């Protein structure tokens, strides 16, 4: 059997000294999915707030707390599935973040999922910039080559 090695640009990022997240930060598809995910997250947060407020109508505090925990677990599963859709199914965000519920709050008082996205944004932005710069250089080289092949006409 013949083997082919393809450079896909995938890099590894250690998360919190434990799990490894693998993706190509210069992949335009990931970049678009990432920013779409931020919009989806906002919609999910609105839905979570609405559904949590609806639970407040339950006069039984114990029943309400149990229902809220179920809701937060559902939210966590949906967010982790969304993140796997962005970065690839091989990235298990439950394992990567050691089972932490993404709806939970970090020490900074912000949702864990927001902390994660904020940490990843500069990596993706740098990857996108590198890709755009390389694409622009390639376009310039192709234009120069085409000009040279025409014998410098139009130069």
* Cα dihedral sign, 98-104-107-111: positive
Q: What's the Cα-to-Cα distance from 155 to each of 101, 135, 150, rounded to whole Å?
A: 60, 22, 10
Looking at the predicted structure, is the pLDDT value of residue 56 above 90?
A: no
pLDDT, mean of residues 15-32: 92
pLDDT of residue 154: 52
pLDDT, mean of residues 63-74: 92
- 116: alpha, beta or left? (left if phi > 0; alpha if psi -120 to 50): alpha
pLDDT of residue 142: 82
Within its chain, how far is the Cα of 43 from the centroid? 16
Q: pTM for this one?
A: 0.78
Return mean pLDDT, the chain.
90
Summarised one tens digit per residue, pLDDT across range 5-21 is 999 999 999 999 888 99
Looking at the predicted structure, is the pLDDT value of residue 152 above 70?
A: no
Summarised one tens digit per residue, pLDDT across range 105-148 is 999 999 999 999 999 999 999 998 888 887 778 878 888 888 88
């Amino acid at each position: 059997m013949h083997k082919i090695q393809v450079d896909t640009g995938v890099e590894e990022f250690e998360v919190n000294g434990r799990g490894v997240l693998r993706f190509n930060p210069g992949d335009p598809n990931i970049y678009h999915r990432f920013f779409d995910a931020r919009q989806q997250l906002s919609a999910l947060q609105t839905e979570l707030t609405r559904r949590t407020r609806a639970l407040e109508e339950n006069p039984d505090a114990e029943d309400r707390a149990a229902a809220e925990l179920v809701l937060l677990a559902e939210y966590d599963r949906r967010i982790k599935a969304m993140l796997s859709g962005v970065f690839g199914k091989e990235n298990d965000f439950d394992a990567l973040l050691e089972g932490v519920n993404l709806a939970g709050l970090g020490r900074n008082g912000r949702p864990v999922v927001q902390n994660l996205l904020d940490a990843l944004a500069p990596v993706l932005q740098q990857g996108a910039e590198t890709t755009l710069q390389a694409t622009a250089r390639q376009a310039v080289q192709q234009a120069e080559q085409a000009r040279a092949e025409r014998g410098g006409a139009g130069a």
